[in-house]
Amino acid sequence: MAERRPLLGRRELLRGAGGLGAALLIPAPTGCGGGDDALTFFFQADPDETDGRQRVIDEFARRYPEIRVRIVLSGPDPMQQMLTFCAGGKCPDVLMAWEQTYAGLADRGVLLDLNTMLDRDPVFAAELRAGSSAALYDTFSFEGGQYALPEQWSGNFLFYNRKLFDEAGVRAPAQWGDSWSFAEFLDIARQFTERDRAGKVVRWGFADTWVPYYSAGLFALNNGAEWATPRTVPTHSAFADAAFLEGVQFYADLANRYGVAPTPADQQSISSMDLFAQGRAALALGGHWRYRTFTEAPDLDFDVTALPHGPEIAAARSNIGTTGLAIAAASPRKEQAWEFVKFACGPIGQAVIAGSGLFVPVVKSAVESDGFAAAHTNIGNLDILRDGPANSAPLPVTAEWARIDALMDRYLGPVLRGTEPATALKNRLAPEADEVLRNQ
């Protein structure tokens, strides 16, 4: 195992670790210390998600009345906030972890290696392994340590306007193994794109509600490219590979060449979420975190379907999107924190999450439960959610992800605006990303 870096000093951590991006955020309090002995739980959430997590906390409190849990809500940059808390000696006991940024915290010694707890709890460890998605569980394994337990799958798929599809007689795939090809997807997006007499688009075939440069990379994954190899602590990026460049170019062309998706300039006036919610886009890329927003949109009848795939692979894949729960290495309440993490990420807490309809749980008994189905009665293609983790491609796990993220943002931007071809990434993004990976 590689030597761990020391905790960041104040000057270094205040430079920031890169924003994680989110929708509506609730400001956090100035610190998480306090005179009481409550277990502190740090997470980022909008009001709906806060309500869902509170249900889990309430059920935990009913079963473990001796352990009190106090919420600490994140501001817009949770990575920097966690580092600031921990460098100041006020690290929350339980921390929300993101699949692509937790390694930076683990590398700095902020997170407890949960193998120390799992080894002491072999029955729970065996049940967790048997009942959870291995792909999600392994996402939080870094350099021999298990630094979080997964609590939800948050990979991407397609939402589609069921009314429009039914009226046009178009069938959307109900399984990941039955996905559209890129060519079929383009034909469908063209079919649903409508313009008025002046040529102005009044309905788009496709809109993207995720981070555009990540979405472009997701199309590359679905063209047979991996972002980097190996998955954990990668040493080489695929950003110069033909499959990656072709997938990114196809995604960029949807807006800039084919005119079936809004360009970055178009999105200055209206959000992609609003386009789909208002029936002005037939398809929208996003994850389950958009579900509640679309459910509450008036007169929107929607379902979910798989992403399209290129000629290099036989079926589409999502991305391993997940959040987990970690324990601070410096927590004075590790035993209580472990009980909470076990509960929230185990069958009972996951069943509460399933019934809330806010997350796609990771425990198989929960995602296959009647409660999960009852929370998604408007979804016909429920297997797209249930089978999402098993049909997801892993994204790189590296302590240097913030630097790779910044490079993708910088160099993919011109491609997505249509001012440069994707082949420009071969001599710009790829060599700089490989240098970062070689020196991590």
- In this chain, the answer to whether the domains covering 10-154+321-392 and 156-319+400-438 adopt an identical fold is yes
Share of the chain above pLDDT 70, in %: 92
Q: What is the pLDDT of residue 17?
A: 38
Residue 8 has pLDDT above 80, yes or no: no
Give yes or no for a contact between 139 and 150, defined as CB atoms under 8 angstroms apart.
Answer: yes
Structure confidence at residue 144 as a pLDDT band (50, 70, 90): very high
Cα 381–Cα 302–Cα 252 angle in degrees, nearest 5:
95
Res. 308 pLDDT band, cuts 50 70 90: very high
Domain range list for the chain: 10-154+321-392, 156-319+400-438
pLDDT at 402 over 80: yes
Contact assessment for residue 312 and residue 223, using Cβ atoms and an 8 Å cutoff: yes
pLDDT of residue 83: 84
**What is the residue-averaged pLDDT of the chain?**
90
Angstrom distance (rounded) from CA 174 to CA 303: 10
Q: Is 11 a residue whose pLDDT tops 70?
A: no
Q: What is the pLDDT of residue 118?
A: 97
Long-range contacts of 361-366 (CB under 8 A, 24+ apart): 361/151, 361/152, 361/153, 362/132, 362/133, 362/136, 362/137, 362/150, 362/151, 362/152, 362/153, 362/322, 362/389, 363/131, 363/132, 364/131, 364/132, 364/133, 365/131
Quote the Cα angle for 373-375-380, to 5°. 50
pLDDT at residue number 31: 47
**Domain 10-154+321-392: which CATH number of 1.10.3720.10, 3.40.190.10, 3.30.420.40, 3.30.413.10:** 3.40.190.10
* 156-319+400-438: CATH architecture: 3-Layer(aba) Sandwich (3.40)
Question: What pLDDT sits at residue 78?
Answer: 87
Asked whether the predicted pLDDT for residue 34 surpasses 90, the reply is no
Per-residue pLDDT, averaged over 250-270, amounts to 93
**Torsions phi, psi of 393, nearest 5?**
-95, 135
* Model confidence, pTM: 0.89
Q: What is the pLDDT of residue 361?
A: 95
pLDDT value at residue 269 = 80
Please write the tens of the pLDDT for every residue from 173-195.
Answer: 999 999 999 999 999 999 999 99
Of residues 258, 160, 259, the one with CA closest to residue 209: 160
Strand partners, 373: none
Cα end-to-end span (Å), the chain: 14
Q: Report which DSSP code applies to 144.
A: T
**Maximum Cα interatomic distance, the chain, rounded to a whole number of Å:** 70
CA distances from 409 to 24, 140, 401 (A): 21, 24, 12
Structure confidence by residue, pLDDT tens digits, 334-361: 999 999 999 999 999 999 999 999 899 9
Specify the higher pLDDT residue, 22 or 68: 68
pLDDT tens-digit series, residues 129-138: 899 888 899 9
User: Confidence class of residue 5 from pLDDT cuts 50, 70 and 90?
Assistant: very low
Alpha helices, H only, 334-395: 334-345, 347-356, 364-367, 370-374, 383-386
Local structure of 149: helix, strand or coil: strand
pLDDT digits (tens, 9 = 90+) for 45-101: 888 788 889 999 999 999 999 999 999 998 888 888 888 888 888 899 999 999 989
